[in-house]
Structure 1
Amino acid sequence: MARPKQLIPSYRKHRASGQAIVQIAGHTHYLGPHGTVASKRNYDRLIAEWLARDRQPESPPEERITVVALSARYLSFAKGYYQKNGRCTKVVPGIKAMLRYLRDWYGKEAAADFGPVALKAIRQRMVEDGLSRRYINDHVDRLKRMFKWAASEQLVPQMTYQALSTVDGLRRGKTEAHETAPILPVDEGVVDATLPFLSAVVNDMVQLQRFTGMRPAEVCALRPADVDRSSDVWVFTPESHKTEHHGRSRVIFIGPRGQEILQKYMLRAHNLECFRPCEATAEMREKRRARRKVPINRGNRPGTNRKTSPNRTPGDRYDTAAYRRAIHRACDRAFPHPTLGSRKALTTEEQVELQLWQSEHRWSPNQLRHAAATSIRKHFGLEAAQIVLGHASANVTQIYAERDLGKGIEVARAIG
């Protein structure tokens, strides 16, 4: 049996000198006379610093660490820090996208020499690449946070971060970077036209989100164990939600229409998610089998033409990306291009035209939440919309809930 690896470097005696030593990352540290209180205190200090560096070797001098080395250290830290339920959050892909710009131009440069002028140069390159103003500002903020972390780890001088912090974000109307369109509520008629092209599982997810206004991540994570059914209005308390790191609670109320949808899902094991891609895939295959015209003893029998080791297999729960893709595929079938058919037979110009058509005729799960917020605000007021959506501030709710223009029209008719 192999000897287990020692995780913490040991406190040892150097016989030739009588000194206490500890070896960390291949470097020997002399601590003082062996067995003394002072040597043990030095040992504790060095081990604490090593653990604080996440078991990394001692940082090189500030002027020698390069941008690419700093980027690798920060990405390793981010993957461990920005985690939720054992998975990296959406922050990590954003950091990777920012680092690609940084390493491309300044990877071999000293991190301590990276200053405001270099940051503005990268920012201008993002503008020229067609990124939106808000996305560019997010990248700039991510870069500043990286250098703030580096200063706290003594990888760069503190003045490097302080200089970068003087660079402001791009202002609306003061830059060539384009503005992103606001997320608007999706029209109920558009949703109704899409529903027949969704699987039964995703159909139920869409309907439940329409009735409750919950976030896409919340409908994906819904489990029987999280739903209190002791009263006429069910109460769904997500195990994990978007703002839990701020110490806020999240409660979602489910009325009769939502309860009718969830009844059949409440019969499964309490710790299983209600909506599962594997069930939607099984339903799709069953429909294909029902439409089959070739006799079962002819051609490919069900299951024989599947890949032995597919790149992706249906999972046990939906994530927000898979939920969105399922809706987009249904939109493509519900609102096909009037003249263009299969993408494989199209020219490059026709493919661009088809992509533009599809982007204009697709809607996303977040728009269901906006539509629910607008409807609740119209019929029950802003405070009710704030409670249902779970916002700490009514100002946030106003972003989701479009104002009822009909009231302004009535006033104009009366006094205008």
Structure 2
Amino acid sequence: MRQPKFCKHKASGQAFVTLDGKVIYLGKHDSPAAREAYDRLILKWRQANDSTGKHATTVGQLCLAYHRHAEMFYRDENGEQTGEAKNYQKSLKILIENFRSIPCSEFGPLKLQQLQNEMCKKHVRSQVNKSISRVKAVFRWGVSQEMVPADIMMALDCVRGLQKGRSVAKEGEPVVPVPDEDFEPTVAKMSKNVAAICRMLILTGARVSEIRLMRVGDIDTSGKVWLYRPGSHKNAWRGKDRTIFIGPRAQAVLMPFIADAVHSDLFVFRPREENEPYTLKGLGGSVRKSCIRAKVDHWSPGQLRHNAATAINREFGDIDASRVVLGHSEVSTTQQYAERDLAKAAEIIARIG
């Protein structure tokens, strides 16, 4: 049984497909919306009629099937969807735009490298490598679902990631700490909640989403140093525990938000009365507006984790100390946070060396 074709109705300019003798119109011919509608129908038709997996799956149909899988798979232990599903959606956008109608059996290393080159026009090298890794993961999943020939995945694995200085891709700007002289003026222009989130980030070294999604019941206040164990975190799926330490200064920031909390499942920081946390976009937008009001260069909440690491390195002179606090697996991951202190070290050596 041959796969029904994507056709054009000349009189109306509409795209259509004939399934089981029924003509289904899809919208303006060859528009992205019509193509996606066709992919959805063919995917459903194949699931109903193709138990052998012999029909040629296109790249668009594979991406559509994986998107459905990702929405269910990338959830934390509370059943809430993580950001990884959207990351895949963004990574696959250029793939769909350029190769939607190509059979997966024809998507080999040269086409993957062509995709790399297209991504280089819009993204920095590290982003391109992450996106290409996600594309490979989608094809690998497709093999497990008998939608992609196994030899295609083996061939795609031969395409290496872009190396620094050996590709046309631009390098991303390093993420640096927020200048001390910009932090306080900006916080002074923030709402009470957003200011508290930013102070918690700089005092604990936690990731933005760890503080953003903090619940009252996740905090152990029994000791001198409080312990916060997030319900979900970046490495939870690897089976790794994550503990964030809350010292006296951070406790003082946190206390007004949890002192009268009745329910343990309440988010500590909420933009409204409902039990909904800040979104990443909403939090970032609030900080951006505060920067404008404070008349300082724009900075993002994610930079404050770098401030925390730099402060720890300055206090203890020990990169491993910040590795433990920030929850990194390798010392090399933390090394980048200490770069801001290089100028200070040079100044000291210039005086005493």
How does the TM-score come out when normalised to structure 2? 0.79
Instruction: Provide the residue aligned with 2:205 in structure 1.
Output: 213
Instruction: Provide the residue aligned with 2:114 in structure 1.
Output: 121
8 A contact 1:63–1:112 mirrored in 2: no
2:185 to 186, 190, 193: 193
CA distance in 1, matches of 2:210, 2:232: 8
**Cα offset for 1:108?**
1.9
The one-letter amino acid paired with 1:407 is A
CA distance in 2, matches of 1:319, 1:275: 11
8 A contact 1:68–1:103 mirrored in 2: yes
Instruction: Provide the residue aligned with 1:383 in structure 2.
Output: 320
The one-letter amino acid paired with 2:201 is Q
**Cα offset for 1:87?**
3.3
Q: Which SS does the other structure have where 2:339 is aligned?
A: coil
1:155 to 141, 147, 154: 147
8 A contact 2:310–2:338 mirrored in 1: yes
CA distance in 1, matches of 2:96, 2:219: 47
**Cα offset for 1:388?**
1.5
Q: Which SS does the other structure have where 1:253 is aligned?
A: strand
Instruction: Provide the residue aligned with 2:345 in structure 1.
Output: 407
CA distance in 1, matches of 2:227, 2:84: 30
Q: Which runs of 5+ in 1 are unaligned?
A: 1-25, 27-54, 280-313, 337-360
8 A contact 2:108–2:152 mirrored in 1: yes
Q: Which SS does the other structure have where 1:235 is aligned?
A: strand
Matches within 5 A, 1:72-111: 72-84=64-76, 85-111=78-104
1:329/1:110 CA distance change after superposition, 3 Å: same
CA distance in 2, matches of 1:382, 1:205: 25
The one-letter amino acid paired with 2:332 is N
1:230/1:178 CA distance change after superposition, 3 Å: same
Instruction: Provide the residue aligned with 2:278 in structure 1.
Output: 318
CA distance in 2, matches of 1:232, 1:123: 51
1:241/1:106 CA distance change after superposition, 3 Å: closer
Q: Does 1:255 align with 2:247?
A: yes
8 A contact 1:377–1:384 mirrored in 2: yes
How does the TM-score come out when normalised to structure 1? 0.68
8 A contact 2:267–2:275 mirrored in 1: no
The one-letter amino acid paired with 2:194 is V
Say which one has the larger Rg: 1
Instruction: Provide the residue aligned with 1:170 in structure 2.
Output: 162
1:217/1:100 CA distance change after superposition, 3 Å: closer
Instruction: Provide the residue aligned with 1:368 in structure 2.
Output: 304
Q: Does 1:272 align with 2:266?
A: yes
1:177/1:65 CA distance change after superposition, 3 Å: same
**Cα offset for 1:127?**
2.3
8 A contact 2:176–2:340 mirrored in 1: no
Mean alpha-carbon deviation: is it higher for 368-377 or for 90-99? 90-99
1:392/1:174 CA distance change after superposition, 3 Å: closer
CA distance in 2, matches of 1:72, 1:258: 44
Q: Which SS does the other structure have where 2:188 is aligned?
A: helix
How many residues get paired? 303
Matches within 5 A, 1:268-307: 268-269=261-262, 270-278=264-272
8 A contact 1:226–1:236 mirrored in 2: yes
CA distance in 2, matches of 1:236, 1:120: 44
**Cα offset for 1:180?**
0.7
